[in-house]
Structure 1
Amino acid sequence: MTQPQSITTSPEWMTTPKNAPGHIDVRRVDGLLVIEVVNTRRYNAMSLSMWESLGQAVQSGDSDSDVRAVVLQGRGDRAFVSGADISEFGEQRNDPEQVARYERAVASAQNALIACRHPTIAVIRGVCMGGGMGLAVSCDLRYCNASARFRMPAARLGLGYTLVGVARMREVLGAARCSDLFMTARTFDGLEAARIGLATEVFDDTDFDRSAIERINAVSGNAPLSLRAAKLALRHLPGLAGAPSADEVNAAVQACFDSQDYQEGQTAFREKRLPRFAGR
């Protein structure tokens, strides 16, 4: 996704301190909450402070009724997110207490994307590895370019991947694909990512920006209450801990039929025009 022309200033808490290895940039553009991972010298690797800031940014957007979709992307053309910033492990992930804090920060960021009431969309260009893959599968939709490079390198680094992280990967890819990626630690491209279901769609490198933006605009132009109901149902069905109840899903479905948007959708269909949904 290209840099939007109209941006707003982010609150101070949304940006990691400047002395950190990288930071999280947040801006609101035409109903989109665009969250960008910025650490280009290290292929947008995530530091502890970045994991924490990312979780806060998504949670803030979740409560904003004007947001139609959350877009997660990496700065530049080289990488989406290359994973955790290994260079800080000696200081930030060196004893049980530090490891626990780090895992909480990662889980919080991923869970915020999964639980967000708005559609979450990963725009993946270039390297997407380790924690980057964890963030990608935490989003509802994932669009990548053909030359993107994916890898789950935990077995080559001596790292253990958390149960929650493996569960989400297995839910998206299935047990066989998940086993392959964790056991081989192999690298694969965007075409294979789409074939195995890791990417929702893959686009040619030369056409990636336009195609990804078209998909994002299509999502953000749909009825927010309908998308919310669908997302609740999809989270409920696997029966994982913390998932919405059937009653919550049913209430969200009923809210759609009781909404002004439902009337607007019918009117727009009769008048053969695009609907203008207000989320109520």
Structure 2
Amino acid sequence: MTQLHSPTPFIEAFVTGSTGWLVLNRPDRRNALNAEMWAAIPPLMKSLDGHADVRAIVIRGAGPEAFAAGADISEFGEARNDAEAAARYERLNGEAFAAIRGSAKPVIARIQGFCIGGGLAIALACDLRVADGSAAFALPPARLGLAYPLDGLRDLAATIGPSAAKEMIFTARRLVAADALRIGLIDRLAQDIDAETAALCAEIAQGAPLTITHAKRAIDFITDRPGHEDDAEVAWLAGRCFDSEDYAEGRRAFAEKRKPVFHGR
């Protein structure tokens, strides 16, 4: 395991094999995110994204009780006490979400326990979501009187569709894992979440990294997710695949009836 330097003890980042890990580490507060944690996410995601060995990144909460129970509401009296302060706070949130979406590598949310508010927004900024039966989901802005960020609504609607997104916001109803799977909020419901997450990361690690990056950017583009590339950038990423050593390796492996070994170049 390679530990990465974190600017806060409330988030840990490390690499094991081909998987990078970002751990929300505030279990005594159900991993509720304070300003220090929001600010630490972009540099840590950049470090994981730039690590040569990493093929997939997993975000999880410390302990089984919560992925993240949302933003730390105890900070709202100062951090969101008026429109100007709220805008500053949302910029901090937005930079964290953009760093997750902007990773060139697949990002997976591994979810146990509470995944509420800002915690769910982090999970929605990921590419895939794996949960076990303990997971519980909700978006409570209508119970707090605040406006949910536009990019977060785009992530939500792109994941579950506009009607289901409206229902989640309008009602603030808590969803159990089976309900979340039914509406597409999560992609896999696991009995053994560690084994399921490890298997998914291993499958991803066998693929061609440049192809995966192109597919991620292209799908975000066609579904109008926040921060998507323009069509020229997507076309450039496609061309990079066809010019790559990995494409040559894929063709050779197919002809030789063996598994390809990709290096992302």
Say yes or no: TM over 0.5: yes
Q: Does 1:213 align with 2:198?
A: yes
- Structure 1: stretches of 5+ with no match in the other structure: 1-5
Residues 46, 103 of structure 2: 8 Å contact kept:
yes
CA distance in 1 between counterparts of 2:112 and 2:257 reads 36
Cα offsets for 1:202-235 (capped at 9, x unmatched): 112xx22111210111112211000011011112
CA distance in 2 between counterparts of 1:64 and 1:245 reads 26
CA distance in 1 between counterparts of 2:189 and 2:52 reads 30
Give the match for residue 90 of structure 2: 103
Q: Does 1:258 align with 2:243?
A: yes
Deviation at 1:242? 4.3
Residues 55, 105 of structure 1: 8 Å contact kept:
no
Q: Does 1:168 align with 2:149?
A: no
Deviation at 1:59? 2.6
CA distance in 2 between counterparts of 1:242 and 1:198 reads 20
Give the match for residue 15 of structure 1: 7
CA distance in 2 between counterparts of 1:197 and 1:240 reads 16
Between 1:119-128 and 1:231-240, the stretch displaced more is: 231-240
Q: Does 1:248 align with 2:242?
A: no
Q: Does 1:94 align with 2:81?
A: yes
Give the match for residue 179 of structure 1: 166
Question: Matched residue pairs, number?
Answer: 265
CA distance in 1 between counterparts of 2:248 and 2:74 reads 54
Q: Does 1:223 align with 2:213?
A: no
Residues 15, 26 of structure 1: 8 Å contact kept:
no
Counterpart selection for 1:75 from 55, 62, 67:
62
- Once the two structures are aligned, what percentage of the paired residues are identical? 38
Letter aligned with residue 265 of structure 1? G
Q: TM-score, normalised by structure 1?
A: 0.89
Q: Does 1:235 align with 2:227?
A: no
Cα offsets for 1:34-77 (capped at 9, x unmatched): 10001101111100110110122113333444421121111111
CA distance in 1 between counterparts of 2:189 and 2:67 reads 14
Q: Call closer, same or farther: CA 1:241–1:35 in 2, change over 3 Å.
A: closer
Deviation at 1:91? 3.4
Q: Does 1:50 align with 2:13?
A: no
Give the match for residue 130 of structure 2: 143
